A and B are shown apart, each in its own frame.
Chain A
Amino acid sequence: GAVVSQHPSRVICKSGTSVKIECRSLDFQATTMFWYRQFPKQSLMLMATSNEGSKATYEQGVEKDKFLINHASLTLSTLTVTSAHPEDSSFYICSAIRGGPGVTDTQYFGPGTRLTVL
């Protein structure tokens, strides 16, 4: 159990376009999901915390108008990179915390999405 999927796994887009990345918890309901970005040979950088039915909480320095997050259901969160530029090229990873009885704070990660902006 505790499987998180992401779609797409890779995406290449032109500068100025928008890209949507989906994060789904496949076998559990996720009250909280997180979005990270990771540059080569670096650690994970938290971008925002997403709670179902409420606005996302963004980390300092992350532009909320550029990285739109929607947590529309207990199994789906989306990250939209608007007006993408080459510097937005990165590995984007989501994670989810299982909700319900016996709730813990264990985060289960998705496989990541490689975004390349030309």
Chain B
Amino acid sequence: GENVEQHPSTLSVQEGDSAVIKCTYSDSASNYFPWYKQELGKGPQLIIDIRSNVGEKKDQRIAVTLNKTAKHFSLHITETQPEDSAVYFCAASKGNQGGKLIFGQGTELSVKP
């Protein structure tokens, strides 16, 4: 079955710096890749997603890139702010799985003021 590996497990950056989180997936049939932000004690919040027919998507300070050949995708956060501190999860799914997501292990991002 599908397996999603996420790195790093923890990431500490200074406010204003960029943060990059990387994920690899094993099933080449996966075609949908969302990223979620989870704050302590809360449910995950969708921040950006990308489908396999595009290589990059951007939304203000957040961008996601997808390399289908290498089967990896990355989250880029620019101009980080303390409120970006949270746990970030990547996930992958296949269109014929009824929306079932396979999650990465999570990255705890800490943005120091």
Check if B99 sits within 8 Å of A44, measured CB to CB: no
B103 interfacial contact with A, CB 8 Å: yes
Q: How far is the CA of A43 from the CA of B42 in the complex (A)?
A: 13
* CB within 8 Å for A105 and B93 given contacts A43-B103, A46-B100, A49-B98: yes
The 8 A CB mask of A76-118 against B (1 = contact, 0 = none) is 0000000000000000010001000000011111111010000
Q: How far is the CA of A110 from the CA of B36 in the complex (A)?
A: 12
- Selected from A49, A93, A105, the residue in CB contact (under 8 A) with B43 is A93
Give the total of A residues in contact with B, Cβ under 8 Å: 22
Q: How many A-B residue pairs have CB under 8 A?
A: 51
Q: Which residues of A contact B98 (CB under 8 A)?
A: 32, 49, 51, 105
Check if B99 sits within 8 Å of A43, measured CB to CB: no
B52 interfacial contact with A, CB 8 Å: no
Near A by CB (< 8 A), chain B positions 27-53 give 32, 34, 36, 41-46, 49
Chain B residue at smallest Cβ distance from A114: B41
Q: Which residues of A contact B106 (CB under 8 A)?
A: 42-43
* CB within 8 Å for A107 and B43 given contacts A43-B89, A43-B106, A44-B89: no
- Selected from B41, B43, B95, B99, the residue in CB contact (under 8 A) with A97 is B99
* CB within 8 Å for A112 and B99 given contacts A43-B104, A43-B105, A106-B34: no
Instruction: Kindly name the residue among B100, B104, B105 whose own CB sees the greatest number of chain A CB atoms within 10 A.
Output: B100
Check if B99 sits within 8 Å of A108, measured CB to CB: no
The 6 tightest CB contacts between A and B, nearest first, are A105-B99, A109-B43, A112-B43, A111-B43, A109-B44, A97-B99
Known: A34-B100, A46-B101, A105-B95. 17 other contacts (CB 8 A): A6-B43, A32-B98, A34-B101, A42-B105, A43-B89, A43-B105, A44-B44, A105-B98, A106-B49, A107-B34, A107-B46, A107-B99, A109-B36, A109-B45, A111-B42, A111-B43, A112-B43
Residues of A within 8 A of B (CB): 4, 6, 32, 34, 41-44, 46, 49, 51, 93, 97, 105-112, 114
Between A and B, 22 residue pairs with Cβ closer than 8 Å are A4-B43, A32-B98, A32-B99, A42-B106, A43-B89, A43-B103, A43-B104, A43-B105, A43-B106, A44-B89, A49-B100, A51-B98, A105-B32, A105-B93, A107-B34, A107-B46, A109-B43, A109-B45, A110-B43, A112-B41, A112-B42, A114-B41
